Amino acid sequence: MTARKTAAKKTTPHATKRIPLRITDTTLRDAHQSLWATRMRTKDIMGIIDTIDQAGYYSLEVWGGATFDVCLRFLRENPWERLRMIKAHAPKTPLQMLLRGQNVVGYKNYPDDVLDRFVELACRNGVDIFRIFDALNDVRNMEQAIRSVKRYGGHAQGAISYTISPVHTVEKYVQLAKELQALEVDSLVIKDMAGILSPIMAEKLVSALVRETNIPIQLHTHATSGMGTATYVEGVRAGAGAIDCAISVMSSSSSQPPVETMLAIFNETPYHANLDVDCLRKICRYFEDLAPKRAAKNMPINPIDPDILVHHIPGGMISNLRSQLAQQDALDRLPEVLEELPRTRADMGYPPLVTPTSQIVGIQSVLNVLAGERYAMIPEETRNYVKGQYGRPPAPIDKKLAKTVLVKEKPITCRPADMLEPMLPTATDGVPAGLIESEEDVISYCIFPEVALEYFKWRAMPTEERPDPPVVLEQQKEMEEQAPASAPEIQRLLTNEDYRELNDLASRVAALQLQEFTIRRNDLTLSLRGSGVQMGSDIAPTAPAPASAASASPTSAPKTAAPPEPAAIDDGTPIPAPLNGTFYQSPGPGKPPFVKEGDTVNVGDTLCIVEAMKLFNQIKAPVAGKVLRILSQHGEPVQKGQPMMIIG
């Protein structure tokens, strides 16, 4: 034995000082969630999983996060089946999942019985390592998950969700690590979902955690700000024994740093990852072939997001804000929202911005800007957050905001899941017989009832009768959107100022005798050909331009359609819709309306609901009086500024 060991040592240089470095591959979970909007198919994974299993990774992150929801909702795949297939083809390398603590793989707290059964089945189907996080770093939302993982023999990794704020100090993170240690986690991970952990901070934080806890530490970052590779170097030198990487073609931008690059860097250090470079080459080629089919459209031109270094808002969150503002015809207000967001986040006690707090803080900031008054509109999710139903915020909530929401109520102080009744005994009551085929189906249904039910119905159809999965329709729509826009569309999208500029450019292009000229402005790419103007994305086929920039009349180009003419208004106060959305007269199906014509209301009484950006906003009476007329129909769309009722 001893002789063989000595011989082996001689063949490797630096053998005496080599320190093993563990690398987790995120290609099959976080990387495609970050770059491909989670659209990797199980068959994509099956084409390469055996090679990935041979590469020598410490673990493969393949499940959880958004993959569960997207499998059912868009791909019409069974996430449990995916897990079993991966396990069958990757028997060597431990499989890892991202578990959102008490939120399991959803967006709200689920009762303990659902969480426990989920973990039991995940273990049984192949998950070895569970990375457990909570958006607020409230360990009360993680303790049941940790207990369950340990009960069923899994490795429980406790995550520290990293963010930057006046209250997020090294001391505070160490305190969190100690709370996780008390729950007997097997390892810790610093989860830097926004890619804002700097190399210097990584060194400080890892050193402190090693010194104070002595638990194995892993680093998880995103390459968004461009600091990721340096952050790993400093973190590993400070004592982190494991890092998360993706295969190069699935890395960088908002994904993880590239594994090949990290190997090359660490090769000149004592830290040794021992990966098979030939395998990595094969994996890289496989995804190079697949990427053109699967990559999300409209990828940013700049692989680095320099703004994140300033405002610390994750890139995915900004694209959500853009689409929410676009729904409200208010895309031009994005700069105001980005300025408002840190203020709203401070009011809400500096939550790290990750699912679901990123959605809550984001939409509240949008509402604060659009309403023209902060907290004039507060959706149910913000109310529940302020009431403590998501857990304990890192810092106290702003007193004024707390008072507005709570009035005289007290926020809850217990573990939020303690308020939830067990769900399993009656979970599938009401599901038509024959649709549920397994215990795993029951759990899918508990977590995403509507989505799972749709999937079960689709699955129950004979194969040839099944409609295309939503992901196929999505792709067809994208193809159509890439077609050049028509002249009326161009007129709708351009402002008068754009027209003046285009006229100017067109005459200059003509003077230069250029055949083709492309300009980028906001979300539009405009190709000028001669004196014509055409809109589309870069890869759209170019077609003869339908409109001439030089001849387009500025007055014929209103930026947005005007709201419908208001109905003749009686004497009284009109109640305008605060947002583009859907008008609801009652809180839910079968419930009586908030008010009827002829009712008397006091200031602050709820009049109706306007649903916008998937959140429900109760509209309160600004004056006391009688409901003279209700002008909108239940369930019908309303536009911002449109009077919904008259009070006089």
Q: Which residues bind Co ion (CB under 5 A)?
A: 30, 193
CA 478 distance to own-chain centroid:
20
36 burial via Cβ count (<10 Å: 0-12, 13-18, 19+): buried
The residue among 30 and 44 lying less far from Co ion, judged by its C-beta, is 30
Q: For residue 581, what are its two tokens?
A: 């959305």
319 or 384: CB nearest Co ion? 319
- Supply the Cα-derived Rg of the chain in whole angstroms: 27
For Co ion, which is the closer residue by CB, 220 or 415?
Answer: 220
Please, what is the minimum distance in Å from the beta carbon of residue 26 to Co ion?
Answer: 7
Closest to Co ion by CB, 76 vs 131, is 131
Helix (H, G, I), strand (E, B) or coil at 573: strand
Write down the residue that tokens 């030939």 correspond to.
Answer: 278
Three-state SS at 506: helix
- Residue closer to Co ion by CB (options 193, 337) is 193
Q: What tokens were used for 533?
A: 């103007």
The C-alpha angle with vertex 616 and arms to 613 and 618, in degrees rounded to 5, equals 130
User: How far apart are the C-alpha atoms of 203 and 232, rounded to whole Å?
Assistant: 9
For 312, left (φ over 0), alpha (ψ -120 to 50), or beta?
left
| Coil vs helix vs strand at 459 | helix
- The distance of closest approach from Cβ of residue 349 to Co ion in the complex, given in angstroms and rounded to an integer, is 23
Query: Which of 131/168 has CB closer to Co ion?
Result: 131
Q: What is the end-to-end Cα distance of the chain in Å, rounded? A: 95
Exposure b/e, 338-361, CB count within 10 A at least 16 = b = bebbbebbebbbbbbbbbbbbbbb
Task: Please state, in angstroms and rounded to a whole number, the distance separating the CA atoms of residues 357 and 44.
Answer: 32
CB 64 within 8 A of CB 105: yes
Q: Which lies closer to Co ion via its Cβ, residue 111 or residue 314?
A: 314
Question: For Co ion, which is the closer residue by CB, 30 or 120?
Answer: 30
Query: What gap in Å lies between CA 216 and CA 260, rounded to an integer?
Result: 23
Alpha carbon distances (Å) from 32 to 13, 26, 89:
37, 8, 20
The residues, ordered by sequence, that sit 6+ positions from 525 with a Cβ below 8 Å of its Cβ are 518, 519, 535, 536, 537, 538
Provide the minimum distance between the beta carbon of 354 and Co ion in the complex, in angstroms, as a whole number.
Answer: 9
**Shortest CB 450 distance to Co ion, Å:** 27
Buried/exposed 248-285: b ≥16 CB within 10 Å, e otherwise = bbbbbbbbbbbbbbbbebbeeeebbbebeeebbebbbe
Longest CA span, the chain: 100
Q: Closest distance between Co ion and the C-beta of residue 254, in Å?
A: 9
Tell me if 482 sits within 8 A of 104, measured CB to CB.
no
Contact 58, 22 (CB under 8 A): yes
Closest approach of Co ion to the CB of residue 160, in Å: 13
Q: Which residue is nearest to Co ion (CB)?
A: 30
Tokens of 288: 């190079």
User: Taking the complex as a whole, how short is the minimal distance between the CB of residue 193 and Co ion, in angstroms?
Assistant: 5
Are the C-beta atoms of 50 and 283 separated by less than 8 Å? no
Nearer to Co ion, 191 or 529 (CB): 191
Shortest distance, position 196 Cβ to Co ion, whole Å: 12
Q: Tell me the β-bridge partners of 271.
A: 19
Nearest distance, CB of residue 227 and Co ion, angstroms: 15
Question: Cβ of residue 222: shortest distance to Co ion, in angstroms?
Answer: 6
Smallest distance from Co ion to CB 328, Å:
29
**Bond preceding residue 94 cis, omega within 30 of 0:** no
Residues in the chain: 648
Instruction: Extract the runs of DSSP E, i.e. beta strands, from 41-144.
Output: 59-64, 95-99, 129-132
* Smallest separation (angstroms) from Co ion to the CB of 544: 46
Output the smallest distance, CB 350 to Co ion, in A. 20
In terms of CB distance, is 315 or 484 closer to Co ion? 315
- Find the shortest distance in angstroms from Cβ 25 to Co ion: 13
Distance in Å, CB of 164 to Co ion, minimum = 16
User: In the complex with Co ion, which residue's Cβ is closer, 193 or 485?
Assistant: 193
User: Which position has the token pair 């390398």?
Assistant: 93
Would you say 32 or 168 has its CB closer to Co ion?
32
Q: Which is nearer to Co ion, 145 or 609 (CB)?
A: 145
C-beta closer to Co ion: residue 168 or 374: 168
Q: Measured from the CB atom, is 308 or 490 closer to Co ion?
A: 308
574 SS3 class:
strand
Alpha carbons 20 and 246: distance in angstroms, whole number: 19
The alpha carbon of residue 576 and the mean position of all alpha carbons in its chain are separated, in whole angstroms, by 32
Count of Cβ atoms closer than 10 Å to residue 451 Cβ: 18
